[in-house]
């Protein structure tokens, strides 16, 4: 559905997006993550046709964006973080205007406006000026205009910002429903939204694509957690197991009173994720062979927050720099 090849964009000599390539298929909901200044906004604006890349190719549903931008934009829905809505217009008038911009007319136009109003639960606010709406309702207006015309590619930037828990869950259901017939890119700083909606994540760092992988794969780690009666001095024998690189004791008693001595716990590092299962079996046999009890053995899973931090640390990402601030201000 969406093919991005060697996409790059610079601002005054600063490279905001650097040789980025990825594909997204129909029905996928993909999270686009990165620190402020990582290049997310620039990529989304290039995908929408608002910005032209310095080099690279964007193909949506088989059409090259640079060759026929109008055709591509007709099948796009885009919710920017700061939606350029008109506060003096009523919700109904704004959606009518947005439908005109998307080339909808007559019965199709009326049917689509009705559909998005029902989908975003905006019926009670149709005649209200947008400027009088709460942040949550303004966000719903933004989503409503984005899904007009049943876009094949929907780009959502911070779609659930300002929504209460009930509205957030409603928005998630709406996004899942849209993804049955479309491709969805979700850019957000709220990791729970990515966990709840996405099967795959793209993580940008300093304009480069650092990670493109499925979430279930990323959550896997090459570390094991074990609980056993084996004391630390005896546990060192486990390091003789082929594929086991490191062992460290875990102190669960720090900062709290312990009346009953805790069982020893260890974190073991394996050479790779593919070795976790076979090494686990050998560890279990070795502990029992040595005459100790094994109370627990499990993989240590990483959450998305941890993964995001690992990527940032690996690429040396500090707090926002002057250059990164410039990328944000240009893209805003």
Please state, in angstroms and rounded to a whole number, the distance separating the CA atoms of residues 146 and 217. Answer: 31
Q: For 104-161, what is each residue's pLDDT tens digit? A: 999 999 999 999 999 888 999 999 999 999 888 888 899 899 999 989 999 999 888 7
pLDDT for 312: 67
Domain with CATH 3.30.70.2190 in the chain: 223-301
Element spanning 121, H or E: none
- Looking at residue 314, its pLDDT comes to 64
> Which parts of 180-323 are beta strand (E)?
183-187, 200-205, 208-214, 223-228, 244-250, 265-270, 294-299
Ranges for all domains in the chain classified under CATH 3.40.50.300: 2-75+151-218+306-331
Fold of 2-75+151-218+306-331: Rossmann fold (3.40.50)
Convert the pLDDT of each residue in 280-318 to its tens digit. Answer: 999 999 999 999 999 999 988 777 777 777 776 666 554
CATH architecture type of domain 223-301: 2-Layer Sandwich (3.30)
Measure the CA–CA gap between 84 and 94, rounded to whole angstroms: 11
């Amino acid at each position: 559905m969406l093919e991005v090849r060697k996409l790059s964009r610079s601002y005054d000599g600063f490279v905001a997006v650097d040789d980025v390539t990825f594909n997204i298929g129909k029905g996928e909901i993909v999270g686009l993550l990165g620190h402020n200044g990582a290049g997310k906004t620039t990529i989304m604006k290039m995908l929408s046709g608002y910005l032209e890349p310095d080099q690279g190719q964007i193909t949506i549903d088989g059409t090259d964006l640079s060759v026929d931008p109008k055709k591509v934009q007709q099948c796009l829905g885009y919710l920017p973080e700061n939606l350029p809505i008109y506060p003096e217009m009523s919700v109904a008038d704004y959606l009518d205007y947005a439908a005109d911009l998307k080339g909808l007319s007559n019965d199709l136009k009326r049917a689509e406006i009705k559909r998005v109003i029902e989908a975003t639960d905006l019926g009670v606010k149709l005649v209200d000026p947008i400027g009088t709406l709460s942040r949550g309702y303004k966000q719903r207006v933004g989503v409503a205009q984005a899904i007009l015309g049943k876009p094949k590619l929907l780009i959502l930037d911070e779609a659930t910002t300002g929504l209460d828990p009930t509205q957030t869950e409603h928005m998630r259901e709406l996004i899942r429903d849209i993804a049955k017939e479309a491709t969805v890119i979700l850019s957000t700083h709220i990791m729970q939204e990515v966990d709840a909606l996405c099967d795959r994540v793209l993580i940008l760092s300093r304009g480069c694509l650092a990670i493109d992988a499925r979430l279930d794969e990323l959550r896997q780690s090459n570390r094991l957690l074990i609980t056993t009666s084996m004391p630390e001095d005896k546990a060192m024998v486990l390091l003789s197991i082929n594929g086991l690189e490191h062992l460290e004791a875990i102190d669960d008693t720090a900062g709290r009173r312990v009346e009953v001595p805790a069982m020893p716990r260890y974190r073991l590092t394996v050479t790779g994720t593919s070795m976790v299962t076979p090494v686990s079996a050998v560890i279990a046999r070795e502990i029992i062979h040595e005459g100790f009890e094994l109370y627990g053995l499990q993989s240590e899973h990483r959450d998305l927050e941890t993964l995001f931090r690992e990527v940032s640390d690996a690429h040396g990402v500090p707090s926002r720099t002057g250059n990164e601030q410039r990328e944000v201000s240009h893209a805003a």
